A = this chain, B = another copy of it.
Amino acid sequence: MSDRRQISMAVVRRLPKYHRYLLELISNDVDRISSKELSEKIGFTASQIRQDLNNFGDFGQQGYGYNVKELYNQIGNILGLNETYNTIIIGAGNIGQAIANYSNFSKLGFTNQAIFDKNPKLIGLKIRDIAILDVEFLEDYLKKNNIDIGILCTPREQAQEITDTLVKNGVTAIWNFAPIDLQVPDNVVIENVHLSESLLTLTYRLNEPKLLHDIKK
């Protein structure tokens, strides 16, 4: 770990956005773009864009700008999209089903291999040809299959136990939709999607002008 430079999460979170805008440019047949033009589209300053990309190497040429397709591929590689990923979904409730049904992820190189639940009414059903398996067999399944990412869509109460099983059996990335902060070893990465917290951030901002006015008084 000693030769790692850590890139700040703020930079990391901008990368998928660059990726998305560059794909849009490609679909509009744009071949090259200056950091200034890209800046106008994406809403970051040109110097921010240059700084962000400089973390990862030399992209673009003075006076020419960026080759859109090349930059798209390079950012894709930085994001790990030069590889493919086997995923499983644990929890076939509302969110688990939505994720299982979402076809866009397969285009990006993610293949969902299995879905697990404990509800006997769901076990045996299929979502997009993937059978819902009994979560009792999760550990056994993980020992026999190489899974890169666990997509955790269980209720809060089961989330840590399932996480422990995933981690114990070699899964090092968890995409977590359960409303809980999971405890994992340092080598495991977690990305949370906390929907309720996102919604409460919205209501905060909706009420902020009134709130701050009241505090001031």
Chain A residues in contact with chain B, CB under 8 A? 1, 3-7, 12-13, 15-17, 19-20, 43, 56-57, 78-81, 83, 85, 94-95, 97-99, 101-102, 104-105, 108, 110, 148-149, 172-173, 175, 179, 181, 189-191, 193-209, 211-213, 215-216
Partner of A94, one of B80, B101, B204: B101
Evaluate contact between B203 and A199: CB separation under 8 angstroms: no
Given A1-B209, A78-B204, A94-B98: A191 and B199 within 8 A (CB)? yes
Main secondary structure of the interface of A (DSSP, over half): helix
In angstroms, Cα B79 to Cα A208, docked, is 9
Given A148-B206, A208-B7, A216-B5: A200 and B56 within 8 A (CB)? no
List the B side residues contacting A209 at CB < 8 Å: 1, 4
| Closest chain B residue to A151, Cβ basis | B199
Given A16-B197, A193-B195: A203 and B173 within 8 A (CB)? yes
Provide 16 A-B residue pairs closer than 8 Å at the C-beta atoms, listed in order of the A residue. Answer: A4-B208, A4-B209, A4-B212, A5-B216, A7-B208, A7-B212, A12-B201, A16-B197, A16-B200, A85-B203, A97-B98, A108-B199, A149-B202, A175-B198, A189-B205, A193-B195
Determine how close the nearest CB of chain B comes to the CB of A203; give it in whole angstroms.
4
Which 6 A/B pairs are nearest by Cβ-Cβ distance? A80-B203, A16-B197, A80-B207, A98-B98, A94-B98, A191-B202
List the B side residues contacting A5 at CB < 8 Å: 212, 215-216
List the B side residues contacting A57 at CB < 8 Å: 215
Evaluate contact between A16 and B181: CB separation under 8 angstroms: no
